[in-house]
Structure 1
Amino acid sequence: MSYQGYGQQPYGQPPQGYGQYPPPQQGQYPPQQGHYPPPQGQYPPQQGQYPPPQQGGYYQQPPPGQYPPQQAPYGQPPPQQYGAPPPHSPQPYGAPPGQYGAPPPQQGGYYGAPPPAPYGAPPAQAAPPTPPSLGYGAPQIIQWDGTQDAQALRGAMKGFGTDEKVLINILSRKDPLQIEVLRTAFERQFKRSLVEDIKKETRSWFEYGLVQLARGPLMADVHNLYDAMSGPGTKEIVLNDILLSRSNADLHAIKSAYQRTFRRSLESDVKGELSFKTERMFLIVLAANRAEDSAPVIPQQVEQDVMSIYKATEGKVGTDEILVCSIFANRNDNQIRAIAHTYKQKFNRSLESVIDGEFSGHMKEALLFQLLHAVDKYMHAAMLLEDSMAGLGTKDHLLISRVVRFHWDRQELANVKGAYQQRYKKSLTSRIRGETSGDYRTLMVACVGE
């Protein structure tokens, strides 16, 4: 897929037509790092270079007083340069997303890294592991007391009637660590389950959204996976959303929580729900042997992967699906992006079109998910949100789970909203308003920060 890029004002100058996109310039590609629009570099890169790791996105500074919070003033020194040490910790929840183009919590290795050391040389140090997403790591003690909010939630659901506004205002504004503290405080103080009380006091998609929030990101993933594989049929799209393109740390957390909650392994449930080759693909994913985000892109490995994919697809009669699935499951986003770029250069055909023509069904959808996420994760997220609202009827369970998933990381959400605006020429909020109603609408709009 291709996007038309945009030009950039000289550094330190006010944006052209504040709040609007400047006119496009021929041949530029949406940024993978730095400010948006891109301040330097064009796509495709020069021969022998790879597209840079995705670090920035589409976040545009809003007028004062609007969400997301304002960034640092335009014209300040540029953000941390690519290749500098990664930030020490993620942005606090609700904090300003920071100068546009600041790196997300995960950092990729540099492109064009040197090949492996000669035979007999000391082994290279393993890439440091990608840290778990907020809410997926070990329990943390935070300086926040959930007692007052727990009391407000109980008051909103006690007696006759429910104060929906209180539920929305409290639950939509907490980060994953605060949600955990709040849920524990509610259960300790009132000897009741917050999730079960919400289920009793609310209905329909409004209930579904509140429950997703109250469970927090990890337990929402666990329950959504279980529900997707319960009853007749399997909601494969839910498995894609939750399991694909995740860090090893997050996958280990999901598997552990699933086992703890349902006393059964996630792998065994997946085995019983998917067809043979797709089952093997997801078991490779669940093995959590993906290259860490800090692992470099090595040109020799990229060339080898490109030729392996070609020989497994276009270069033979039939398709070696499992070989392609193994490459996509075990490479990080930077490496997959380099593979896609090199494949296009070498064979003058996009890797997306190869997958579309050589695969079918759930496996095709899963491979395209991994590819598009690696090429531009913010645009891919915007497309997932639009897909949940496009066509006849809204796929409400997908819209809710995706909105809630992206809302946990406000930096990511700001970029997804910018990507959505660029692609569909309307705001994500206005699109959601048109597809939802009542308290359900109010909750979704609150989650996207309006």
Structure 2
Amino acid sequence: MAWWKAWMEQEGVTVKGSPHFNPDPDAEILYKAMKGIGTNEQAIIDVLTKRSNAQRQQISKSFKAQFGKDLTETLKSELSGKFERLIVALMYPPYRYEAKELHDAMQGLGTKEGVIIEILASRTKHQLQEIMKAYEEDYGSSLEEDIQGDTSGYLERILVCLLQGSRDDVSGFVDPGLALQDAQDLYEAGEKIHGTDEMKFITILCTRSATHLMRVFEEYEKIANKSIEDSIKSETHGSLEEAMLTVVKCTRNLHSYFAERLHYAMKGAGTLDGTLIRNIVSRSEIDLNLIKSQFKKMYGKTLSSMIMVNIGKGALLSLDLSSPGRKVSGK
């Protein structure tokens, strides 16, 4: 699909924005692309996938000032399917988008625990604070209270603990003595006893820094003769197991974790479009190129090529992959 290719083939941090940016002509191009019968999707791709999020917000303001319409709502009315979902995601300010994803995960029947776990376990303390602020502004309720109302048991406890942002993600300080004690405490809370002290696992995993936890994992393996991942798998199950393993994965290598999430979204029957779009959009101005590099190392193929294979069939648009600047033709 051309819009995926346009999105994935940006250089640098994938999306740096336009160096000679003026929101007014961009807004006019978008207006003309959606005026009258039919929609010029290529024009929308050319503008929105080549602008930073901050620039898209300025385009949105200019669109409203010039034409008296909300740009996001206009895009929703003109587009459909996966293309609409991606373009609308691009229009949200980053923290509002992640707040929306969390809100959507708790709406309707059932809760998409995987979405909540993914976001809360992989974001920094600052990012979590901004997401909580955006959530309350947009939905008039506390993210913590909504998670408590939608989950229960130890899963609720680990999610709330992650949301507190108690982990030190700046200093990188490691106390060798405390790391050894934490490893011993984890062993005694799981492998050494009949049953599991889940709260001990939750407390250590959610309150220690990544650099400290890496030392804890090393010491744990010496004591238990098995990895912390293997112990978590044998001691827990379901969404709690997923949450704990996600914390460990994000601690060991954040880029590998996101590469795995993107691969998971495309393996098997069907594609998990929400997971694919959310992770590409949310990491595009942070570390998507590093994730793409890790993806190639882990799976032996590029993320772009796998996306094209998995969602390209039946697509509305096609693109000559060897010529990113080529025009898109409808199918």
Same-fold call, TM > 0.5? yes
Does the CA contact (< 8 Å) of 1:251 and 1:288 recur in 2? yes
Partner of 1:426: 301
TM-score of the aligned structures, taking structure 2 as reference length? 0.87
Cα distance in 2, alignment partners of residues 282 and 67 from structure 1: 34
Cα distance in 2, alignment partners of residues 428 and 325 from structure 1: 33
Q: Post-superposition shift, 1:436?
A: 0.8
Per-residue CA distance 1:395-438 (angstroms, 9 max, x = gap): 111111112122222xx222211111111111111100001132
Partner of 2:178: 301
Per-residue CA distance 1:210-267 (angstroms, 9 max, x = gap): 1111113212111111111000000111102221132111111111111111111111
Partner of 2:281: 404
Q: Post-superposition shift, 1:366?
A: 0.9
Give the percent of matched residue pairs that are identical in Structure 1 and Structure 2. 30
Does the CA contact (< 8 Å) of 1:183 and 1:194 recur in 2? yes
Partner residue of 1:170 out of 47, 51, 71: 47
Cα distance in 1, alignment partners of residues 173 and 92 from structure 2: 36
Partner of 1:320: 197
Does the CA contact (< 8 Å) of 2:14 and 2:288 recur in 1? no
Q: Does 2:223 correspond to 1:346?
A: yes
- Higher relative contact order, chain-length normalized (CA < 8 Å, sep 6+): 2
Partner of 2:93, secondary structure, is helix
Aligned residue runs from structure 1 range 117-266, under 5 A: 144-266=21-143
Cα distance in 2, alignment partners of residues 181 and 286 from structure 1: 31
Cα distance in 1, alignment partners of residues 318 and 179 from structure 2: 45
Partner of 1:68: 11
Cα distance in 1, alignment partners of residues 217 and 181 from structure 2: 13
Partner of 1:367: 244
Partner of 1:40: none
Does the CA contact (< 8 Å) of 1:388 and 1:399 recur in 2? yes
Does the CA contact (< 8 Å) of 1:284 and 1:329 recur in 2? yes
Does the CA contact (< 8 Å) of 2:189 and 2:197 recur in 1? yes
Does the CA contact (< 8 Å) of 2:122 and 2:254 recur in 1? no
Partner of 1:244, secondary structure, is helix
TM-score of the aligned structures, taking structure 1 as reference length? 0.65
Partner of 1:94: 16
Q: Post-superposition shift, 1:92?
A: 10
Q: Are the structure 2 counterparts of residues 329 and 68 from structure 1 closer, same or farther at C-alpha, using a change threshold of 3 Å?
A: same
Per-residue CA distance 1:58-109 (angstroms, 9 max, x = gap): xxxxxxxx8635xxxxxxxxxxxxxxxxxxxxx79539xxxxxxxxxxxxxx
Cα distance in 2, alignment partners of residues 143 and 231 from structure 1: 44
Cα distance in 2, alignment partners of residues 166 and 365 from structure 1: 41
Q: Post-superposition shift, 1:181?
A: 2.2
Q: Which runs of 5+ in 1 are unaligned?
A: 1-65, 70-90, 96-141
Q: Which runs of 5+ in 2 are unaligned?
A: 1-8, 325-331
Partner of 2:6: none
Cα distance in 2, alignment partners of residues 177 and 334 from structure 1: 32
Partner of 1:434, secondary structure, is helix
The total of aligned residue pairs comes to: 310
Q: Are the structure 2 counterparts of residues 440 and 283 from structure 1 closer, same or farther at C-alpha, using a change threshold of 3 Å?
A: farther
Aligned residue runs from structure 1 range 101-112, under 5 A: none
Q: Are the structure 2 counterparts of residues 181 and 143 from structure 1 closer, same or farther at C-alpha, using a change threshold of 3 Å?
A: farther
Q: Are the structure 2 counterparts of residues 301 and 245 from structure 1 closer, same or farther at C-alpha, using a change threshold of 3 Å?
A: farther
Partner of 1:394, secondary structure, is coil
Q: Post-superposition shift, 1:191?
A: 2.5
Partner of 2:202, secondary structure, is helix
Cα distance in 2, alignment partners of residues 421 and 277 from structure 1: 35
Does the CA contact (< 8 Å) of 1:432 and 1:441 recur in 2? no
Does the CA contact (< 8 Å) of 2:161 and 2:206 recur in 1? yes
Partner of 1:282: 159
Q: Are the structure 2 counterparts of residues 440 and 291 from structure 1 closer, same or farther at C-alpha, using a change threshold of 3 Å?
A: farther
Does the CA contact (< 8 Å) of 1:176 and 1:216 recur in 2? yes
Cα distance in 1, alignment partners of residues 212 and 254 from structure 2: 14
After superposing on structure 2, the runs of 4+ consecutive aligned residues of structure 1 that deviate more than 6 Å are none
- Root-mean-square deviation over aligned CA pairs: 2.3
Q: Answer 1 or 2: which has greater helix percent.
A: 2
Partner of 2:327: none
Cα distance in 1, alignment partners of residues 200 and 122 from structure 2: 17
Cα distance in 2, alignment partners of residues 211 and 427 from structure 1: 25
Q: Are the structure 2 counterparts of residues 274 and 94 from structure 1 closer, same or farther at C-alpha, using a change threshold of 3 Å?
A: same
